[in-house]
Structure formats: structure tokens, C-alpha cells
Chains A and B, each alone.
Chain A
């Protein structure tokens, strides 16, 4: 039986559990066993989803120390020899996975968004070159298959509860990475675009007018999001960026204003039910994915649509 280890990031437990769907796609009909590993004793949400869970007793190990946590996983792999290791591409996962892969002398594919099989060959799909193209990557060499998985792309359909075997280990050979957390300051929480049903999103065509999106978002009870171009210009914070270098979102309604829709952006749209795009160029890539294409100026469109909705509401 093939065995798959999934790293459970305590800060993104649901995203980590969703990696079970990746394991399912990798092994398809084959028999496989899933093990989740978590630093600390807080795996509750994952119990019932995995075949087994390893909780790592953290005496003198800091969960934010990539050097130390890598040592834990190296020791685990040396004794258990998993066939596949999956890590969520969270900020910590993206530090952990390459470090671990290097210790295990194995290849790693970053930020995977799809799994494909070509005969016997397993291919990990990811956007490449700023999302201009998709690349199918194969693993060469003998180590375990390792991938970091883009959060928000795969979803585990938890139909049956498993009788999860629980185990707590205390690793022996863990070095201290000599890093200490001195302080933490909560950021002003705005909103999570991944949780919005309605997103009003602006791209390069909204430079200079980005704030206008807020009116439409408010009228529709939604939130504002942005493309890479807007974020790179410093007009909007990275936390509301949609796309390969931002977040993957699944709203019921996505309004794309002044967005061209290069692959890098469209990669961030997953199971979006309704797309309306407003663009001066009706042949922009985003338009072919849209239910409605409004050809014209986005600010004029906002003015007119908001006025129309307000007028209808008051009659």
C-alpha cells in the first residue's frame, strides 16, 4: 500500500486537510494510507479525515522554526519512508517544503494547482512564467514525491469518518534554529476575499479609479479585490489580490473591471459561477470566460449600474 504524509499547518488546518484530495487524485484507484503530521497536540479538526495522525510533542521546539521542524520531518521520513509528502503552500509550508526536499535529496514542485496522469507517469501542474503558461512537471530520481499545494484549489469532500489512529511522538534529533519570536502585532483585519460571495475586482484599467469599486461592492453587498497590476502599483494591499501570485477565490459572482485576464489572474478563479467583465477591449482573455461582457468604460458602468440599482430599490 502507498503511503502519503500530509503536513498539517496549525495556522491553516482546513487548507491542510484539503490536501487529502490531492492524495486521492495521485493514487486514484490504488490502495493508499494517509498520515497527517502536526506540531503540537491540536489536530482535532483532522481527526476522522486521516487514516492516522502523528502529533509531535513540542518540548523546546518552536513551531515557527523552519530548521527545527525540518529536522522533525527528516527523522520521521527516515523511520517511516513515505512515498509521497504533501505540504500546503502557506508561508511556513513554503519555507519548510524546499528545506525538507533538499535534506531528502528529492525533487519538489511548488504551488501545485492540478494533478495529471499520463500512463504510469505522475505530473504535477503549476502555472509558470508569471502564469503565462501552465507547466506539467515530472519527478526524476528516487526520493519520495514532494509537492507544495496551492491553498484553496483542492477541496476534500469529507463523506465518511475514519477511525483515525492517533500517535504522539517526541523526536530525538532536533536542532535549535536559534530564532525567537519577540512580539506580534495583529494587523487591522479587513476581510478575507476567499470568503466573499460577491467580488468586485479591479485591474490595470482601474489605475487612478480603483476607489470607485467600493461603491459597487457596497451596493451589491460584496467586497473589493484586485489584480496583480494594481497590487504591484501599491494601490491595493496584497491581501486582496486574486491570481496565481495572490489568492484563489470562489465567489458566486465575480465582476472583473478593467482586468485583462492573463492566465496568472484566471488561475485565481476557481468554480466562480457568474462572471461579468467590463473592458474597453471585448476580446480581452477574461471576456471569453464571462457570462456578460460590458464593452466600455468601467467607471461609467459603475456610475450607471449603481444609479440603476438605487433607483429600482427606491421605487
Chain B
């Protein structure tokens, strides 16, 4: 089978900075990691390949070139091709423009399934997989917690989706877009010493706006349908709080408060 994993490298949520003047994330300064849901997508693809060595895996990401080493790490653990869609003119793209860019590339590829994460921890819109479904005329399912490896074929996939109250098993015809969550049991393998030394640059492919024949007004802010008008830190109603300690007096204060409000 031919699998495409669509992934995003995201800033470690506890380490990034935000440029409030320009309404942009300072990606260059952030420590990057593969988005947790996307880890599961790649890890499942590698499992499928381990079971069926004829499987090919291409990882596709749209990002500044700073992610290249991370993409190379994935090539070292068994991904066959890494594609970086990158161009300065893509900066400022909303999800509409981003999906348009990704779809323009994906239609040039031959695949049986596109594996993605469900949520990205930075944007958390969950838009891209579904928007790509619309553009590529593929069905798409989010929230996948397990894919049945024994029933994963060019014809169809059988998988579990977990919701609030149930786990539902679906069968979906392929090609389709399958979006996994970090609740999957799939983990990335470690690179062996030999793999770490391997030159994988030949398997890395860079795609620019020109390669995809975009006009300037189709991408970036100009090609977007939404725009961040302003950002602000939210002001909450501050309360005139009382500070106590965990000593007897403090505990007694809390106790009286709970009693007054009829919680005990």
C-alpha cells in the first residue's frame, strides 16, 4: 500500500513565544516536536510497513525549513520519502489557504490512504483533515483510536473511533483520510545507531509555491478567508481573594466558607 502521513511539527506548548505586535507565533524560537496525534499516524504507518514490507510511506508537512532535521529523523526510522512544502509566501495562511496548498500537492501523488492526526496542540482547529477531504473528494474520519492491521487493505480500513460514551467500529472504503488521536497505542520506534548515521537527504523533497503554480493572491494572508484581527490576553473578573495557609486556621477558614455556602 501507498500511505501518506500528513503531519505538523508544533511548538512545545510550554516553550514558545508569541509576537503580539505582528500577531504571529515566533516559530523560529520555539522548540519543535511532532504533534502528538500525528506521532500515532506515522507510528501506525510504520507498523503497517513492518507487517507488509512493500508498503511505502511518505510524510508530508507544510512548514518553514527549520523542521528539516525533524523530517530527517522520520526518514531514519523507516519513512521512505519526506516532503517539505515550504515557501515564505505561504506565511499567514489560514486553514482554508493551508488546505488549498496541501491539496494541490496531494493530487499529484498516488496513495491508498492519507493518515493524519485529529488535533494539533497549537492551532487546535482540526480543520485541515476535513477540508482536505472536501478538496480531494475523499471521506474523512476523526478521533480514530485503533486501526485493525489485519483488515487494512487497498480496498478498505476497519477502525475504532472513541467518543464520549462509546467506541464505534467503522469500515471505510479507501482511499480516504484517517485521522488518529494520541490515545492510539502506536509509538514511534527509536532509530538504530546505524540509522542515525545514514544520509537521508536524498529522500527529502522540497516543494515551493512555484512548484505548485500558485498565484500570489491564492496563498498566505491574501488567499485566506479569515484573519486574526487582534489578540489579547483575557481579563477575568478578579476576586478579592483571601490567602490562607494549610495550618489549622487556614483549614478552619475553608471549612467555615464551605459551611456558609451549604456545601457541607
Contact = CB atoms under 8 A, between A and B. Distances in A.
Interface of A: 64-67, 70, 91, 94-103, 105-111, 118, 121, 123, 128-130, 132-141, 143, 177-187, 189, 198, 219-220, 232, 238-239, 244-245, 252-253, 263, 266-267, 274-276, 278, 282, 287-297, 300-301, 304-305, 308-309, 312-313
A312 to B, nearest CB: 7
Interface residues of B, number: 78
A293 B168 contact: no
Contact of B251 (A67, A99, A109, A301): A301
Contact of B226 (A64, A129, A140): A140
Interface of A is mostly: mixed
A99 B99 contact: no
B244 A304 contact: no
B251 A305 contact: yes
B246 interface: yes
Contacts of A232: 36
A111 B165 contact: no
A189 B130 CA distance: 29
Contacts of A282: 243
B169 A99 contact: no
B253 A129 contact: no
A108 B96 contact: yes
Contacts of A111: 124-125
Given A66-B130, A110-B126, A139 B169 contact: no
A28 B238 CA distance: 28
A106 B96 CA distance: 8
B236 A266 contact: yes
B140 interface: yes
Contact of A99 (B131, B226, B243): B131
Contacts of A301: 246, 251
**Which of A105, A133, A266, A289 has its CB near the most chain B CB atoms (within 10 A)?**
A133
**Which of B128, B134, B252 has its CB near the most chain A CB atoms (within 10 A)?**
B134
Contacts of A186: 165-166
Interface of B: 13, 16, 18, 20, 23, 25, 36, 94-96, 99, 119, 121-128, 130-131, 133-135, 138-143, 158, 162-173, 183, 224-234, 236-239, 241-246, 248, 250-255, 257-258, 261, 263-264
Contacts of B121: 130, 245
A293 B131 contact: no
A255 to B, nearest CB: 9
Contacts of A177: 139, 172
A65 B36 CA distance: 26
A98 B226 CA distance: 13
B71 to A, nearest CB: 23
B141 A179 contact: yes
Contacts of B261: 252-253, 274
B244 A295 contact: yes
Contacts of B167: 184-185, 187
Given A111-B124, A130-B13, 11 more contacts: A100-B134, A108-B96, A118-B229, A121-B229, A136-B228, A138-B226, A187-B167, A282-B243, A287-B241, A304-B251, A309-B264
A140 B227 contact: yes
Contacts of A185: 166-169
Contacts of B164: 91, 187, 239
Nearest to A192: B164
Given A133-B18, A291-B257, A294-B250, A94 B126 contact: yes
A239 B183 CA distance: 12
Contacts of A106: 225
A90 to B, nearest CB: 9
